[in-house]
Structure 1
């Protein structure tokens, strides 16, 4: 009987420990919930004011027409997803300025139809189709193994952080890496994957040409005018992160992603 108070005290201690643990987890969950809510609010507000068609119209007041008049004859450009949407508008815009285009498409038939249309619209016959499913590692390895002479311009969608890292890794090689945001465009992909969003912003979304505008602008600018590793939006360098939204990644995390990509692709750290 004399041991009962001790056992009772022990039980109370365990209960308190459990309670403290539960409160700690609850506070952590609340913090994450509030952070997600803040991100959605700030990104949604910023996006509505800037990523929509009215945002493009407002920003275009600062555009210089001569920036888009450059000819890039003899330059080679790879454009992924080039059979529709922003990818098609990008390929068409670059082809109209004389570039040799390599359209990377998953579907051969749709790719051929897009290729024919671009050739007909621009009069540029240097438009080539490469069939590759970018979600297939074997397809990607096969594609990058192709020898394309004098390839100088690459149009890819890349994560901002990785672009920044690649710019740092290759700064001594004279290779530029740039990321951009096309804004919210009225594409088939958006209509299919985000139907409610697409319907709610009907009439306010950008056209494919408006979405492709900064991609084409980047490809036309001299390297000296751009900042390698920078993030661009509507023909201007833009902030990479939302204020107080904890969107920046640590160097350790990005390094781990780079290591994983090297492992998957079989590229050594010296390459």
Structure 2
């Protein structure tokens, strides 16, 4: 395929940039999931454990129809476990046309679908695309704008708006919150996240994810500056306190 043809195919969503894929259980949605990691993300989270997914140009080109064929291959597994397809990243909404084609193909096969997103690019998601999404795994990285800016380099408002849009349309949401000592753990920041999440009627699960150093080596291999090298993991008492702040609002917490 020539360069011009490739560009046209990308714009049409026929070709996307993929980092990798894996088959996982009870991690990225219910049942056994085929989780596809797309390349490219507009955020620069200080704790990102997949910094090798940040740039679209570093991914491998893949056709939407090829991914749908892969989904078809695992239909017996999905039916037996109540699983399905999860598109993650990076940030899947960096490639909305491609994402939309893959989701449509999966739904035509009767497969449960999920996307894992920060919500920052929620405006890129058309109503048609969201009609093909059964579950959104939404990463709410902070409840306070200044902490969100420090953590991601971006603004908080688009994420908040996207979450409310999902709730208004009745889309199920699982919220993920990464707990980083000295960065996102302040009681007032957690309260802000919990208050926001409690106001979303379709949130059925909150996952408090303790910070870890597993991505540090990737940053070093990529020649990127890792600012959290001296940050300790979140201890049991801190994790319990934060989970309690969510539970106090009647939320189901893991």
If each structure's strand is expressed as a fraction of its own residues, which one has the higher value? 2
Structure showing greater Rg: 1
TM-score (norm 2): 0.29
Looking at secondary structure, tell me which structure has more helix per residue.
Answer: 1
